[in-house]
């Protein structure tokens, strides 16, 4: 059971995302999935690199939560992923540029094994 944001996404095989896992334990996970040359989910069941895990317990069924994520480029082409939950900064994770070659693209949402109601906003910058 999880919900998350695709921060940079070329396709389902090549992306950077943050997941708020609810079960089996609550945590935020920053992941990169790289399968260069592949673009269909059925062709890339692997290729995950876990960049960071951070325990975070706040989830209650039928409660509203605010989740904000940001990825920004810093010096030397490296990146920083920031996550806030319910307006509390949860983590900042630096990511080496070698982990993200050619992963650019649009943001999106991913959910697994749950029913979620959400509003989704993307900054134009």
| Digit-coded pLDDT (tens) for 77-124 | 788 999 998 888 999 999 887 776 666 777 888 888 877 777 777 776
What pLDDT sits at residue 31? 93
Residue 30 has pLDDT above 90, yes or no: yes
What pLDDT sits at residue 91? 92
What pLDDT sits at residue 67? 86
Instruction: List pLDDT tens digits, range 57-78.
Output: 776 777 888 888 888 888 777 8
Residue 50 has pLDDT above 90, yes or no: yes
- Residue 30 main-chain phi, psi, to 5 deg: -100, 125
User: What are the C-alpha distances in Å from 22 to residues 3, 91, 101, 124?
Assistant: 8, 17, 30, 29
Which H or E run contains 110?
A: strand 108-112
């Amino acid at each position: 059971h999880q919900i998350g944001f695709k921060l940079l996404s070329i396709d389902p095989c090549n992306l950077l995302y943050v997941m708020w896992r609810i079960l089996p334990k609550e945590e935020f996970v920053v992941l990169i999935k790289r399968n260069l040359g592949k673009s269909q989910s059925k062709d890339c069941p692997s290729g995950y690199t876990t960049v960071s895990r951070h325990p975070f317990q706040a989830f209650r069924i039928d409660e509203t939560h605010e989740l904000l994520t940001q990825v920004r480029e810093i010096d030397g082409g490296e990146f920083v992923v920031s996550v806030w939950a319910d307006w509390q900064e949860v983590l900042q994770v630096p990511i080496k540029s070698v982990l993200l070659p050619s992963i650019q693209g649009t943001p999106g949402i991913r959910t697994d094994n749950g029913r979620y109601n959400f509003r989704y906003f993307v900054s134009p910058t």
